Structure 1
Amino acid sequence: MWRYGCVGLALLVTTACFDTPPAQSMALLEGEINAGTPPGYCLDGAASRPGDGFAVIAPCAAFGTGDAVPPVVGVATVQVGQPDSGIVVGAETGLRDLLVSDAGARLLSTAGGANTITVLGSQVQDNLVKVHFVDTAPPPMAGLQDAEWRAFLDVKGRLVTVAVRGPADAPLTDGTGAWLLDQLVNALMRDDGSDTGGA
């Protein structure tokens, strides 16, 4: 699910390749869903594909905005599914059970192989399933750590996936990764005017 443009995990090195300025809010799917960001984070206008429901989020400082570096540094993606793709509401426990199975591991792996995934933890809330895992397959972006925090929720009948990783040379920990994932989910729901029911 990961795609990327100019954001590198020397996150705070300004580059000249950002033709589209970063923003802290982005309309996805022609405005059907609005993606927001927590403080210190911006949406990558060059790497995101709003028409496809896909957004890349990184510290604003990575885009040369002059913003201060946030205390927790990571890179995230948001992917919004097709109409009626929502599968979370009312089936949270079943989805969690799938994700911690071999079939779910194949879905989580960047290489599609269950043998690359070790699930470290999972959590279920109303309309929200979170999973923390390590993937030994090559990372989706050079320079990222092998641990990932991922959330699944339904927004307006669509499945939305939020994924977070940190830099390999300054990796997120269990606590900071989970915190950043929560901040991103809350920002998404805040800008969309929805409620996860306890994210």
Structure 2
Amino acid sequence: MFRRALALIGITALAACDPAGIAQPVAMLNGDLVVAPPAGYCSDPLSSRLRAGFAVFAPCVTLGTDAPVPAVLGVATVQAGAAESAMVTGDETDLRDFLISPQGAGLLGQGGSGSTISVVSSQAFDGRVVVHFRDSGPPPMDGLGQDEWRAFTDVNGRLVTVSVRGLDDAPLTAGRGAALLDLMLQGLGRAVPPPES
């Protein structure tokens, strides 16, 4: 899907001088978590399971929406844990150290195996743990590259994991991968309660 869509982006960009598509915030877990994607990104309704706390975000143009091509092309996922699963704040360094260990690499790899994982860099700060790693195993979706940027944070009492990968045909540089991950993290928030009548 993504390889074919990427080939069409040049044509779409020329035709999207006056784009109508605007990325909309997505409510997950019946509104307990809201994700406002970066400009040019939309949730994929076929791959996402919003009530279960899982969402996939891709450039809107790859999903058939008339929207501008984003400056950074990639695919992001957001996974929210159960209520009261928050565990990052206050334990950032311990979590980071575990994730970059051979045992913790199993949490980063597909299917629970860390044998395909090579950690490139890691950070722990302000209620957030970020790991940039390379996975030589099969990608979670066809057409994605091997490099992944993943963040762990707490939102509204839940552990939330955000992952970003570039396209196999257009890999993300370290700076662009980190930038897209940061934009996704900026869009995480609590649901806004309805106004009182």
Letter in 1 for 2:175: G
| Separation in 1, partners of 2:50, 2:95 | 26
Q: Is contact 2:23–2:40 with CA below 8 Å preserved after alignment?
A: no
| Aligned 8 A contact 1:11 1:59 in 2 | no
How many residue pairs end up in the alignment? 180
Asked whether 1:8 is paired with 2:8, we answer: no
Contact 2:38–2:187 under 8 Å retained in 1: yes
- SS, match of residue 179 in structure 1: helix
Contact preservation (8 Å) 1:22, 1:63: no
CA contact (8 A) 1:22 1:44 kept: no
Mapped contact 2:31–2:191 kept (Cα < 8 A)? no
Within-5 A mapping of 1:60-75: 60-75=60-75
**Separation (CA, whole Å) in 1 of partners of 2:98 and 2:65:** 41
Q: Given that residues 87 and 159 in structure 1 are in contact (C-alpha distance below 8 angstroms), is that contact kept between their aligned partners in structure 2?
A: yes
TM-score, with structure 2 as normaliser? 0.85
Q: Which runs of 5+ in 2 are unaligned?
A: 10-20, 193-197
Name the TM-score, length of structure 1 as normaliser: 0.84
> In the TM superposition, what is the alpha-carbon distance from 1:129 to its structure 2 partner?
0.5
Q: Give 1:79's aligned amino acid.
A: Q
Distance 1:72 1:23, change over 3 A: closer
Question: Structure 1 or 2: larger helix share?
Answer: 2
**Preserved contact between residue 116 and residue 135 of structure 1 (Cα < 8 Å):** yes
Q: C-alpha displacement at 1:125, in angstroms?
A: 1.5
Question: What's the offset of the Cα at 1:192?
Answer: 5.1
CA-based RMSD:
1.9
* Structure 1: gaps of 5 or more residues: 1-6, 15-20, 194-199
Give, in whole Å, the separation in 1 of the partners of 2:32 and 2:70: 29
Q: Larger Rg: 1 or 2?
A: 2
Ranges of 4+ aligned residues in structure 1 off by more than 4 Å: none
For residues 78 and 169 of structure 1, what CA distance do their matches in structure 2 show? 23
Matched residue, 1:3: none
